[in-house]
Each structure stands twice: as structure tokens, then as C-alpha cells.
Chain A
Amino acid sequence: MTSSRVPRRVPVARRNLLAEKMRLLMSVGGVAFAVLLILLVASLYRGWSAAGGLFEELPGDIWLAQEGTSDPLRTSSFLPSDALAAVAAVPGVRAVVPVYARRVALEPGNAELNVYFLSLAVPPTVGLPADQQRFLPTRGSIVVDAALADEAGLEVGDTLDVLGRPLVVARIEEGGNPLFSIAFMNAADARELLALPGHVSFFLVTTTPGADRDEIARVAATAVPGSEAHTAADFANATRDLVNQGFLPVVGALVGIGFAIGGAVIALTIYTATIEKARDFGVLKAIGADDRFVYRIVVQQSLGVGAAGALLGIVASSLVATLIRREVPEFVTDLRLLDVILVFAVAVLVSAVAALVPVRRISRIDPAMVFRA
């Protein structure tokens, strides 16, 4: 006997779903579309949030800023440039990089942009690894991100007027963020265009390996009156908070709408299928099935639609995210496995909840109906 290939139960749910292929296709497609919407929004949100990671990529562990500068993008910071020596003298400090930063309003073409310019005045004694050289454009040039380049219509070699000085776009970095564009400028240009005389915006401090960073931060802040120390992670998180404030409500609403659409599609499909199969369920009850037996079939149908739709949506999201990265580079997408697992789990949960819709209908099916022709 072929007992190993015999299913434990007759797959009524699968048979019912496959019997109406067009409806199955439409309901699975509806769920897949909802999951696609959710995952794309989530991946865009993740991509934009990652912009804050720039502060963790820059060469330093501690940012010394003017007191009250918790958010580098929205508050200005000025520190006396002659405080450099005092910071460098703090035990455990390996290198100090003066940083110039300022938000500048630009009007390239017909666009109106607020660009956050950053400039690292890296001393010749501090060697930077190759991947960080991209933060150091040569004099007269700038490095912009893809979002800014797209909004301003810039390409490598184009000239951008910054505070009356034409600067050439030397490089376009991937990514960016519609909320805040970041560009890098040469330190000599920054001193002339961005800085107050005798001041820098920040000191970016690199500590020696194994040093107590908290202690160094405390001592450095004491060494420069009117300053406070932040870790690179603090600034990165402040930037992420900026994204969160702007986008989380939108992301939340879209994700909610996505799940509502998915749930409604499944609920409608399952309710319709239940009504349509009411006589079959009546037959099952007549031959002795209890409500739980019938309800299991309905739940399996619902979970089948939800899981198939979620899987299709995940595959579609992956393809679309890849396409977006290739065709629209300023839309940074970051499709994370954890998000995918979470969305799949919630989609399955919503499917199970949607299966509750026809519960009353099932319990009201009178098995005696099977005797009516």
C-alpha cells in the first residue's frame, strides 16, 4: 500500500480553492499587492533611515559640538577653532578632525533645495582608508548624493552655484533622502563659504583603541567651554529620528491600509467561498462533522490564500525593490529579512482573523438542508 503518500486528511480546503482558479488568482493577487505595498514602503523607510548611518561612517567616534546641538541637521554649531589643541591633548585622543557644516539654500534651475554641506578638514597626519576618501573632494568640487543629483538635475562634471561660487560635481554617491540632502565640500572652500571666522562647526574625535570613550567625551567637553560631546551613534540616531518624525506616520498609515486591504480581500474571498460551499458544509455536518471540523477547512482556505499571497508579494517586492535601485537610485530601498518575516507572519495572522468572518454563518448551517433538493 502507498501509505507514505496518502495524505492524513482529504485536502478539502485545497480542492475548494483550486476549483475556482480565477477567484483564487484574484484573491492571492490582492493579498500579494497589499504585501508588495507594505514591503516597499517598509524598504523605502529602512533605506531613508539608513541615511543617518553616514555619521557612523565618517572617520571619528566622538562629535564635539556647541552646547544644545542634539540634532546636527537642524541646529547650528560653532566652536572656536583654536580649541583644537585642547581637544587633541585629552588623554586617549588619537586624532581630531575639524568639521565645517551648514545648511545652504540652493536654486539650481527651477528647483529650491536645502542642502546640508559637510566638510572634513582632515590634517595631513591623519590617514584615511580608501573608502572614506570619498568624503574629501578636491578644491572647487563637491560630492552629492543621488537624491540631490536627481532633484537638482545634476550629473558628474556639472557646476552648482553654492553661495556665489561655482563648484563642480566630482562624484554622485548612491542613495540620499528626500527629507535632507547631504553634500561634501573641500575644507578650503568650506572655510571661505561656510565657516564663521575663527570657528568650526564640530570637532570629530578619533580615540585610541581600548580607550574609555565616555571618559574621553566628558574630558573633551570640559576642555572646550560651551561644548558637549556626542557619539557618532547619537548623531546617526538623531538623523533617524528626523526620518521617523517625517515618515513613520505615513509608513504606519500605509502599512495599516495594506494589511486592511489584504485582510478584506481574504475575508471577502473566504466569506464568498463559505456561502458558495454552504451545502457541502451542510453535507459534512449531516454525516457527523462538528463545527470545528468544518471551521478547520475554512481556516485552511484562508491561510492558503494568505500564505500564497504573502509569498507572491514577497517575491514581487524583491523584484520591484531591485528594479527601483537600478532605475531610481535616489530611492534607497533596504528590504530586510526581518521585515519580510514579520510581514509574512502578520499576513498569516490577518488570514486567520479573516477566517473568523464566516464563523457565524458556518454555525448556522442547518445539516437538515441536505434533504432539500
Chain B
Amino acid sequence: MSGDRPLLDASGLVKVFGSGRTAVRAVDGVDLATDAGEIALVMGPSGSGKTTLLTMIGGLLHPTEGRIEVDGIELTGLGRRDLARFRRETVGFVFQTFNLLETLTARENVEIALNVAGVMGAAAHERSTELLVAAGLEERLEFRTRDLSGGEKQRVSIARALANRPRLLLADEPTANLDSRNGREVMDLLRRLAKEEGCGVVAVSHDARLEDVADRVLWLEDGRIRTHELH
């Protein structure tokens, strides 16, 4: 991509669920741009369209209108297979409920993301170890994820999201299921690792404590950006 274009460039995004009188405009004309190495925090109350916006940026939901470009890839024209490739190569996800595979260990949860991208065997093993150690989980590598605390699970989730060196990290309410200390630690980790890996971050949350770690904060309400401030 060219140096002066943002990593994420979304414009005129609209998402309508349903039709006719029951139609709901979950996202209603959102413009959003993020640069590499930047953390953008989208805040707003429940039902404001935050997760829908994130889902569209992650290539999991087609917008009704508008366009999304991530690292030079225009998403709206991509088919199912190319979108899957986009998700494994260009973005990483951190979920509110962690979404770890409970039958696997912490390391295997990171390795599986690498396997999905075609990285196998020792290479996947080493990369997953490196990330989990960086996340402070060197003592928990072979623990089943059901035996980890919430904070530890979210660290594994972040390590998994970064496994394939994505250009953009998408975090959905990453601290919602954590206490304040763990929430803070997880966001610090997210910020540190994202900077180290050189990727941009879009996090959605209604947790005001996250403003401290964000470079840019947007307030979303009724599917529209109401305020936009730089930190």
C-alpha cells in the first residue's frame, strides 16, 4: 500500500438488518480510518452498532452500503474464499468471550491459528511459544484453556490474534469479562504487542477506562459516529 493511505479506510458504512417496517439500521453512515501502530477505540452504549461495525471491518458481514479497505484490500467485492483468506492473513480478532477452543491447550489455541494460515509443525510451535511468553504465560503453555483465569484466557486470545502477524487487530469488548486489574493489564498487553508487531488496532467497548490506552476515541450512538477525539 502507499505510505500516506490509512491502514483501515471505511467510508459511508451502512448495515441494515431486516426489511420494510422492521428494518433496523445498525450502522448508519460511518466513516473510520486508522493508521498502522494506532489504537482506535470505538465506544458507545449497548446496541449502538459497535460490534456490527467491527464484524464488517473483519470481513464477517457484508455492509449494506459503503466500502471498506484494509491494507489496500477492498473487502466489499471479495467472495467467501477471499474473505477467509483476508481474515487469516490481514486481521486478528480478540473476542469478549475469548472464544478459545476448550479441548486445546493455550499453546495449541495459538498454533491452530497458524495452522489455518498454513504454518505447521515446529514453526507454528515456536511462534506460539514466543507469543505466549511475551504475553506472560510461559507457565501456562500446556494448560487446557478451561483451567485458565479470565485474564489468562484473554492473553491467549490476544496471542492467537497476533499469531499470523496481522496488519489490523480487531478487539470486541476485550475487557468486558475481566476485573479492572486484569482489564488494564490486558489492554496494556494489547497495546504493547500491537506496537511491537506493528499493527493497527480497532477496539470496541463501553469501558471508559480504555480511553487511556487509545490514540483515538470515537463515540458511536444509534449507528452513527457522534464524537471523535485524538489523544
Contacts and interface: CB of A to CB of B under 8 A. Distances in A.
A368 B52 CA distance: 9
Contacts of B51: 371
B84 A280 contact: no
12 contacts: A3-B125, A7-B121, A19-B102, A284-B101, A284-B116, A285-B84, A286-B58, A287-B88, A288-B89, A289-B88, A290-B81, A371-B60
Interface in B94-114: 95-97, 99-104, 108, 111-113
B111 A1 contact: no
Interface stretch (A9-17, A165-173, A242-250, A346-354): A9-17
A22 interface: no
B54 interface: yes
What are the 5 closest A-B residue pairs judged by CB atoms, nearest first? A288-B88, A3-B122, A288-B87, A15-B103, A368-B60
Interface residues of A, number: 28
B112 A284 contact: yes
B84 A6 contact: no
A238 B27 CA distance: 81
A53 interface: no
The contact size tier of chain B is 35 or more
Interface of B: 51, 54-55, 58, 60-61, 81, 84-89, 92-93, 95-97, 99-104, 108, 111-113, 115-117, 120-122, 124-126, 160, 164, 172
Contacts of B121: 3, 6-8
Contact of A287 (B96, B97, B116, B172): B116
A73 B92 CA distance: 77
A370 B103 contact: no
A289 B84 contact: yes
Interface of A: 1, 3, 6-10, 12, 15-16, 18-19, 279-280, 283-290, 293, 367-368, 370-371, 373
A371 B61 CA distance: 11
Nearest to A287: B113
Given A3-B125, A286-B58, A293-B116, 7 more contacts: A10-B111, A18-B103, A287-B93, A288-B113, A288-B116, A289-B116, A371-B96
A373 B115 CA distance: 26
A2 to B, nearest CB: 8
B160 A9 contact: no
Contact of B104 (A10, A285, A289, A368): A10
A287 B120 CA distance: 16
B60 A9 contact: no
A3 B125 CA distance: 8
